[in-house]
Amino acid sequence: MTRRQDERNDYIYSEKILEQYEEQGERALQPDNVDKHPRNRISEDTKTHIINLRKSDAYCTTSILYFQKLLANHEGIQVSYTCLRKLLQAAELLPKKDAGKIKNWHLKHSFGGRLVAAVISCDWFNTKTPCALHLIFDEATKKITGLHFSQNACVNGHLETLYQTLTYYGIPRELYVEAYGGSNIFDCKPHGATQLDRIIEKHIGIEVVKEKASTHSSKCRIKEFVRILQKHLPRWLKKVGITNIEHGNRELYKFISFVNDSFTIEPRIPESSFVSLGCRNIPLLLSVRHKVMTDSEGCFFFDDYKFVTDSVRFVNKEIDFLYGSRTGFLVYYEFGYYPVSILHPEHEEDTVSALNLLNKLVHEAYFSSLV
Q: How far apart are CA 162 and CA 62, in angstroms?
A: 18
Predicted pLDDT of residue 370: 31
pLDDT band with cut points at 50, 70 and 90 for residue 143:
very high
Encode pLDDT of 229-241 as tens digits: 888 999 899 989 9
In angstroms and rounded to an integer, the radius of gyration of the C-alpha atoms of the chain is 28
Mean pLDDT over 343-371 rounds to: 53
Mean pLDDT over 194-200 rounds to: 68
Predicted pLDDT of residue 147: 94
Decide if pLDDT at 192 tops 70. no
Predicted pLDDT of residue 3: 60
Of the given ranges (87-101, 181-195, 273-287), which has the lowest mean pLDDT? 181-195
Q: In what order do the strands lie in the sheet with 144-150?
A: 144-150, 131-138, 114-122, 174-177, 207-209
Encoded amino acid at 289, one letter: R
Decide if pLDDT at 187 tops 70. no
Of the given ranges (211-220, 297-306, 354-363), which has the lowest mean pLDDT? 211-220
Decide if pLDDT at 350 tops 80. no
Predicted pLDDT of residue 185: 45
Residue with the larger pLDDT of the pair 99 and 23: 23
**Bridge partners, 110 (sequence order):** 269
> Average pLDDT, whole number, for the chain?
77
Decide if pLDDT at 189 tops 50. no
Decide if pLDDT at 369 tops 90. no
Q: In terms of C-beta distances under 8 Å and separation of at least 24 residues, what long-range contacts does 290-295 make, across chains too?
A: 290/320, 290/321, 290/368, 291/318, 291/319, 291/320, 291/321, 291/371, 292/318, 292/319, 292/320, 292/321, 293/317, 293/318, 293/319, 294/318, 294/319
Q: How far apart are CA 198 and CA 212, in angstroms?
A: 20
Predicted pLDDT of residue 347: 42
Contacts of residue 23, defined as CB under 8 A and 6 or more positions apart, other chains included, come to none
List the one residue out of 312, 318, 253, 325 whose CA is nearest residue 284. Answer: 325
Encoded amino acid at 353, one letter: S
Mean pLDDT over 164-184 rounds to: 73
CA-to-CA dists, residue 281 to 55, 91, 142, 146, 166, angstroms: 21, 28, 28, 18, 11
Predicted pLDDT of residue 181: 38
**Bridge partners, 177 (sequence order):** 117
Of the given ranges (32-41, 265-274, 292-301), which has the lowest mean pLDDT? 32-41
Predicted pLDDT of residue 146: 93
Residue with the larger pLDDT of the pair 325 and 260: 260
pLDDT band with cut points at 50, 70 and 90 for residue 148:
very high
pLDDT band with cut points at 50, 70 and 90 for residue 353:
low
Residue with the larger pLDDT of the pair 205 and 184: 205
The fraction of the chain above a pLDDT of 70, given in percent, is 72
**162 and 146 in contact (C-beta within 8 Å)?**
yes
Q: In what order do the strands lie in the sheet with 337-343?
A: 288-293, 318-324, 328-332, 337-343, 305-309, 299-302
Q: How far apart are CA 242 and CA 236, in angstroms?
A: 9
